[in-house]
Structure 1
Amino acid sequence: MHYRRIRDLRTDHDLRQIDVAEFLGCHEGVYRRYENGVREIPLWALLRLAERYDVSVDYMLGITDNRRKYGE
């Protein structure tokens, strides 16, 4: 996974780590570990973030550089 993309998407949306942690319902430290690649991000959180940022999961995983979701 490209953890940098999670950080870049957060900063592109002018959000703080605490903002995203609250959105996901986890502690800021847990989210920080996701963003730094120390802890594997769970699928449910990845899906919620993809929906929040309006990007495909493939983009977040680094499989593609195309941000658009399938079918768009």
Structure 2
Amino acid sequence: METFAKRLKGLRKEKKQTQAQMADYLQCSLRAYQYYESATHYPEIPDLLKLADFFGVSTDYLLGRSQERLAETRGRADT
């Protein structure tokens, strides 16, 4: 959880967003968002996806499962 919290905070600061702005974006309380950055709680899957989209990174990157910010494309049929 600590990797997620550090990455979330770092990405937020890169985008020059406040915690309150991110809470508004996710439509959650400020305290709930602060829990994410303090490694107390994870967001639910829909909010995890929204965060990944907002920051332009993969969910694997956010969760610490990958060092690559963007997901690799693997033989997608639409490419």
Does TM, normalized by the shorter one, top 0.5? yes
Separation of aligned partners in 2, 1:32 and 1:63:
22
1:14 aligned to 2:16? yes
Give every structure 1 segment of 4 or more consecutive aligned residues whose post-TM-superposition deviation is greater than 2 Å. none
Question: Aligned runs of 1:1-72 on 2, under 5 Å?
Answer: 1=1, 2=3, 3-71=5-73
TM-score relative to the length of structure 1: 0.91
Deviation at 1:70, TM superposition (A): 2.9
Cα distance per residue 1:10-63 (max 9 Å; x no partner): 001000000100000011111001111112221111110000001000000111
How much identity, in percent, do the aligned residues show? 31
Separation of aligned partners in 2, 1:40 and 1:61:
9
Contact 1:21 1:31 in 2 (8 A): yes
Residue type matched to 2:46 in 1?
A: W
TM-score relative to the length of structure 2: 0.83
Pairwise CA RMSD: 1.4
Long gaps (5+) in structure 1: none
Contact 1:54 1:69 in 2 (8 A): no
Report how many aligned residue pairs link the two structures. Answer: 72
Separation of aligned partners in 2, 1:41 and 1:35:
10
